[in-house]
Amino acid sequence: MTGHGELAEVTALDYVEPLRTGGSLPAVVETDDYGTYVVKFHAAAQGRKALVAEVLVGELARRLGLRVPELVLIRFDPAVAAHEPDQEVQDLHRASAGLNLGMDYLPGATDFRPGQDGVDISPEEAGRVVWFDALVGNVDRTVRNPNLMVWHRRLWLIDHGAALIFHHRWEGADEAVAKAYDLSAHALGGYAPDVAAADGVLAPLVTDGLLREVVAEVPEEWLVPEEGHPTPDDLRAAYVRHLSARVARSAEWIPRCFATAEELAAADAAKRARTLAGRPAWLQHVRG
């Protein structure tokens, strides 16, 4: 078993099943370390940058004390899944031969639903998750799509491929340093998140040294050079500069307002009304 930074590298030995809950078509595999992982493929629609975000965000969250399933690097041979009948999935597997990302499979874990019984979430914990999502620009943890799991009555953070929005357009990254993302519909907004307290505790921990440690976890082959960042090391340094500058200006982007259940329902109703208004009269009775 070899490593990139501290992430272990394992090899997929058995293909268990595909997961069709998201657009990236991940799969469950068993590996040579006797583990079971959800593997995310580098040839999925979101590409390697989604895997970069998964590693950077997941490993930074772990170092800040948030619960994230263990991440590993998975060597995947499409022959392992030769029995998969779906042609689209087969095509994805063939295009993803080589190094992919694995997330520890949590047996018996369930999707988190805001307001559900049996999960004790304090304002402190909610505040830390909200603060962290604001730092990394993760707008994909909403009441409609929480991307949180419940395992042994505790919250676990998953699916961070949509975070780090700035790295999809590096020329605009400087402008995004102090950007305040709309987290009013955050999945934990109803738990009185103490974001100010989280800022006081977590912001001092996000040092350049910690960020360099985290970016070192990303495999070089996923850091594809682009204009302004001609080498993987340049890209690593750019991630460190951006997140370091962003945490220094947390007072400008810290979330302060969260929508109530009534406000979210009203927003949904207004959206449906706008959708219906744009349809021909004969279609307006069909639910959007």
What would the mean pLDDT of 14-34 be, rounded to a whole number? 90
Rg of the chain (C-alpha set)? 20
User: What is the largest distance, in Å, between two alpha-carbon atoms of the chain?
Assistant: 62
pLDDT tens-digit map of 61-70: 999 999 999 9
pLDDT for position 265:
79
pTM recorded for the entire structure: 0.91
Output 23 or 192, whichever has higher pLDDT: 192
pLDDT for position 10:
98
pLDDT for position 3:
38
Two structure tokens written together for 238: 């750019």
What would the mean pLDDT of 173-202 be, rounded to a whole number? 96
DSSP-assigned beta bridge partners for residue 20: none
pLDDT tens-digit map of 192-217: 999 999 999 999 999 999 999 999 99
Residue 118: pLDDT band by 50, 70, 90 thresholds? confident
- Judge whether residue 284 has pLDDT over 90: no
pLDDT for position 1:
32
Mean pLDDT lowest for which of 164-168, 182-186, 258-262? Answer: 258-262
d(CA 72, CA 9): 6
- CA nearest neighbour of 176 among 245, 235, 227, 257: 245
Q: Is the dihedral of CA 74, 75, 80, 81 positive or negative?
A: positive
pLDDT tens-digit map of 135-161: 999 999 999 999 999 999 999 999 999
